[in-house]
């Protein structure tokens, strides 16, 4: 075997070949499933097909996996491996007279194997991903070969050193990187009890042995860190989230209460009921991790992964739907071409081929949905790989796109049904925690005193709160499509009404201060209002079209009221009211930007432009200016998409209104002190130039308005450019803008 120690010079290529061979088996399995799909079957038959296919192929890979495991043990230098090797050498020496290898030789071999550790991890990790943890790692008390002994954590007599040496927990980081499309039941049955035992051991040793307690905490976090990997397209999510049957739990319940089935059904047995066993253990424990600052990232990542595995192909934004239609067309063309080659002389595809084409269409939808957040280039590559697989020309070593697409098409329906039962509770739980993060200090302390489980949120620093808020908002956006639409729409309307009331309450003190009257504090803190607007923006894409229009109009009304209040405010206005208005203005810019990216009607676009003109000059902070420029860029891009809806005269009038209003603001922003604001201004200028393409008159007008900046005389301020002799601000900005335009249209 080339994996023998004597052939170590060739290990890099051999280990790479082992990983590629396992990846080829994975691709062959999914391609074989697509080709051999019977007419009466559907995508739900994927799991038994893969189990049968991998079971047959695993016998050929088992010797290679065993050798890779021995090399990993030697590279890790565990006490168990050294003892095994010494015993083997002693037995061989007694039988044949050969001398055993010394511990020094084993240490030297360990140091040498560390040079090949990345290749070893790749080869073994690929085998774990392809064949699954149950086959490669084995199950305690069920498999003849077991490589991960997590049950040692429950042994109170074993120290942490004994547990670490005998359980092979050093394998956990590798599993976090490579586990995918595996059985979630392995995590529930083996990892979850070990995590609970590690937590108990950490609490038990916290006072007597703080160092050992920290080690147990580290293992506890690593065990829960495996959940995002197991939550990525699990094969058995529906089974793991389904409640256990009453018959299966009857023996355990009888043992717990010491009675019979009749006793359990009687009214007297009020302690334990059948409903107690209808709740899965995984999801409640997962939600509890949201209060743990160290595991919140893993919990949110798991929630997002669960939601993505249940995402319905095609149930996305209009822009993504258009992209999916284009990709489906290209895929179906190749699929029909392949079907015609295998069809009867009449040219009509058989029932099996029609079923295959139906599944391939769902594959294309899943690929487009999976690549939506990675940019257009990634989506095109994913669609091309799926199309190539349909035409049977996919590379046998490409195991990243086709299996993920087929798995999504096969398991999305069952996963969605499984998660829909708990989507309302999960979304409500996460939303409440997101709002709690944005409460002011006094309110957060009060909430923490009332609910001790949430005290961790009040103790977080501002940077930690910002990170936690980002993680929770991602979870809200991911689970929103699974939640009942009526609940989403009710919450969105309630939150938007609360925001409008908060703006009115904040505008009243500003108006009173302008008139010389007394001022009062706003109803909600700025961060709370910003959180409400973030949630409305996260729920809007998944609401009904009429509800989406209502939220869009509410956000536009919110921006207009903020503009009116800020433009009429004075230096004597309440600082809290002005802070609230500026926060809502910035968040409204961001929300409108996302809404415009998803699409909009012509009247909505014109309304946004009117609101942006009214708010010119009220964006004081750099963050406000950046969000305003990004919103303006999204508006210009949306106008370009709706150009066909305008007549030539109306389009000319619109550009005649856009250019004199937008160009001066963009010129000043090109010299802003904030780097992100300058970049946003440059990008918006490019988009404005693209709107003028096709008309020499409009391009000339754009250049004229930019060149008008050379008449500015106000000098630059700040830094070395503020020294005597520095160029005027507008002249410098105009030179930058003209240079950018010449760059774009030099040909």
Higher-confidence residue of 444 and 178: namely 178
| Least reliable range by pLDDT among 10-24, 35-49, 150-164, 352-366 | 352-366
- 13 burial class (0-12, 13-18, 19+ CB within 10 angstroms)? exposed
CB 563 within 8 A of CB 613: no
Q: How confident is the model at residue 44 (pLDDT cuts 50, 70, 90)?
A: low
Q: How confident is the model at residue 300 (pLDDT cuts 50, 70, 90)?
A: very high
Can you tell me the mean pLDDT for 189-205? 92
Kindly state the DSSP code that residue 149 receives in the 8-state scheme.
-
Q: Which two tokens stand for residue 582?
A: 């500026």
Q: Which two tokens stand for residue 339?
A: 């079907």
Can you tell me the mean pLDDT for 485-507? 82
Q: How confident is the model at residue 586 (pLDDT cuts 50, 70, 90)?
A: confident
pLDDT by residue (tens digit) across 607-631?
A: 889 888 887 766 666 668 888 899 9
Nearby residues of 606 by Cβ (< 8 Å), 6 or more positions away: none
Higher-confidence residue of 437 and 719: namely 437
CB 110 within 8 A of CB 103: no
| Least reliable range by pLDDT among 55-59, 146-150, 544-548 | 544-548
Kindly state the DSSP code that residue 483 receives in the 8-state scheme.
S
Can you tell me the mean pLDDT for 193-214? 92
| Least reliable range by pLDDT among 199-213, 236-250, 299-313, 366-380 | 366-380
pLDDT at 620: 61
Higher-confidence residue of 41 and 32: namely 32
Kindly state the percentage of the chain with pLDDT values over 70.
69
Can you tell me the mean pLDDT for 516-539? 73
CA distance 406 to 401: 9
Can you tell me the mean pLDDT for 551-571? 81
CB 397 within 8 A of CB 360: no
Least Cα distance to 630 among 588, 680, 592, 583 occurs for 680
Query: How many other β-carbons are positioned within 10 Å of the β-carbon of residue 624?
Result: 18
Q: How confident is the model at residue 84 (pLDDT cuts 50, 70, 90)?
A: low
pLDDT at 272: 34
Computed over every residue of the chain, the mean pLDDT equals 75
* DSSP run (H or E) holding 443: helix 441-450
What global pTM score does this model have?
0.76
Least Cα distance to 81 among 62, 103, 63, 56 occurs for 103
Higher-confidence residue of 21 and 106: namely 21
Q: How confident is the model at residue 268 (pLDDT cuts 50, 70, 90)?
A: very low
Query: How many other β-carbons are positioned within 10 Å of the β-carbon of residue 319?
Result: 13
pLDDT at 37: 67
Whether the per-residue pLDDT at 141 is higher than 80: the answer is no
Whether the per-residue pLDDT at 171 is higher than 90: the answer is yes
pLDDT at 718: 46
pLDDT at 123: 93
pLDDT at 444: 53
pLDDT at 14: 87
| Least reliable range by pLDDT among 10-24, 297-311, 453-467, 473-487 | 453-467
pLDDT at 325: 43
Q: Which two tokens stand for residue 317?
A: 């934004």
Q: How far is CA 222 from CA 191, 216, 437, in A?
A: 10, 10, 26
pLDDT at 248: 42
CB 101 within 8 A of CB 86: yes
pLDDT by residue (tens digit) across 645-698?
A: 888 888 988 888 888 888 888 888 888 888 888 899 999 999 999 888 878 888
Q: How confident is the model at residue 417 (pLDDT cuts 50, 70, 90)?
A: confident
Whether the per-residue pLDDT at 363 is higher than 50: the answer is yes
Q: How confident is the model at residue 706 (pLDDT cuts 50, 70, 90)?
A: confident
Whether the per-residue pLDDT at 16 is higher than 80: the answer is yes
**What size, in residues, is the chain?**
747
């Amino acid at each position: 075997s080339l994996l023998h120690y004597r052939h170590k010079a060739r290990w890099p290529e051999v280990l790479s070949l082992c990983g590629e061979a396992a990846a080829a088996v994975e691709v062959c399995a999914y391609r074989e499933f697509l080709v051999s799909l019977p007419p009466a079957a559907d995508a739900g038959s994927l799991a038994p097909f893969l189990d049968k296919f991998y079971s047959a192929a695993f016998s050929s890979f088992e010797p290679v996996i065993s050798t890779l495991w021995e090399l990993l043990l030697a590279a890790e230098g565990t006490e168990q491996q050294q003892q095994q090797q010494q015993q083997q050498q002693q037995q061989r020496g007694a039988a044949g007279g050969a001398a055993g290898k010394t511990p020094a030789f084993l240490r030297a071999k360990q140091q040498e194997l560390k040079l090949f550790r990345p290749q070893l991890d790749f080869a073994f990790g690929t085998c774990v991903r392809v064949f699954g943890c149950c086959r490669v790692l084995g199950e305690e008390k069920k498999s003849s070969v077991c490589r991960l002994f997590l049950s040692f954590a429950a042994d109170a007599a074993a120290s942490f050193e004994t547990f670490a040496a005998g359980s092979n927990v050093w394998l956990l980081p590798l599993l976090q990187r490579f586990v995918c499309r595996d059985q979630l039941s392995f995590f529930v049955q083996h990892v979850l009890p070990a995590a609970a035992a590690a937590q108990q051991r950490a609490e038990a040793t916290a006072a007597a042995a703080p160092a050992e307690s920290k080690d147990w905490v580290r293992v506890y976090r690593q065990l829960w860190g495996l959940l995002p990997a197991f939550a990525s397209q699990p094969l058995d999510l529906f089974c793991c989230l389904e409640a256990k049957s009453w018959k299966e739990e009857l023996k355990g319940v009888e043992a717990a209460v010491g009675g019979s089935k009749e006793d359990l059904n009687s009214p007297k047995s009020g302690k334990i009921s059948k409903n107690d066993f209808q709740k899965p253990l995984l999801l409640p424990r997962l939600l509890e991790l949201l209060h743990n600052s160290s595991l919140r990232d893993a919990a949110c990542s798991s929630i997002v992964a669960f939601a993505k595995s249940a995402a319905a192909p095609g149930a996305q934004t209009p822009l993504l739907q258009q992209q999916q239609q284009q990709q489906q067309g290209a895929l179906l063309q190749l699929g029909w071409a392949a079907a015609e080659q295998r069809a009867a002389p009449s040219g009509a595809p058989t029932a099996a081929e029609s079923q295959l084409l139906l599944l391939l269409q769902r594959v294309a939808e899943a690929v487009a949905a999976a690549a939506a957040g990675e940019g257009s280039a990634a989506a095109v590559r994913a669609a091309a790989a799926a199309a190539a697989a349909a035409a049977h020309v996919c590379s046998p070593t490409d195991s990243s796109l086709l299996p993920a697409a087929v798995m999504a098409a096969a398991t999305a329906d069952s996963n969605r049904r499984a998660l829909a039962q708990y989507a309302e509770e999960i979304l409500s739980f996460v939303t409440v925690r997101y709002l709690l993060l944005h409460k002011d200090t006094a309110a957060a302390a009060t909430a923490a005193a009332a609910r001790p489980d949430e005290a961790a949120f009040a103790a977080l620093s501002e940077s930690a709160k910002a990170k936690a808020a980002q993680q929770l908002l991602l979870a809200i956006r991911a689970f929103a499509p699974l939640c009942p639409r009526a609940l989403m729409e009710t919450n969105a309307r309630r939150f938007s009404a609360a925001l409008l009331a908060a703006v009115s309450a904040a505008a009243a003190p500003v108006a009173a201060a302008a008139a010389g009257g007394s001022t009062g504090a706003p109803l909600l803190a700025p961060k709370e209002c910003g959180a409400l607007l973030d949630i409305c923006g996260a729920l809007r894409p998944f609401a009904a079209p009429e509800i989406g229009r209502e939220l869009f109009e509410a956000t536009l009304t919110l921006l207009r009221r903020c503009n009116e209040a800020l433009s009429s405010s004075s230096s004597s206005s309440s600082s809290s009211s002005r802070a609230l208005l500026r926060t809502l203005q910035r968040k409204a810019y961001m929300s409108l930007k996302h809404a415009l990216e998803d699409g909009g009607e012509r009247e909505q676009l014109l309304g946004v432009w009117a609101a942006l003109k009214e708010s010119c000059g009220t964006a004081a902070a750099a963050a406000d200016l950046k969000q305003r420029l990004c919103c303006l860029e999204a508006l210009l891009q949306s106008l370009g998409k709706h150009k066909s809806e305008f007549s030539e005269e109306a389009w000319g009038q619109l550009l005649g209104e856009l250019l004199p209003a937008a160009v001066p603001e963009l010129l000043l922003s090109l010299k802003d002190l904030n780097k992100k604001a300058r970049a946003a201004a440059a990008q918006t200028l490019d988009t404005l130039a693209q709107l003028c393409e096709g008309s020499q008159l409009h391009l000339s007008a754009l250049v004229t308005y930019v060149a008008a900046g050379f008449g500015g005389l106000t000098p630059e301020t700040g830094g070395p450019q503020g020294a005597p002799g520095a160029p005027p601000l507008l002249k410098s900005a105009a030179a930058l803008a003209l240079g950018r335009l010449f760059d774009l249209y030099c040909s």
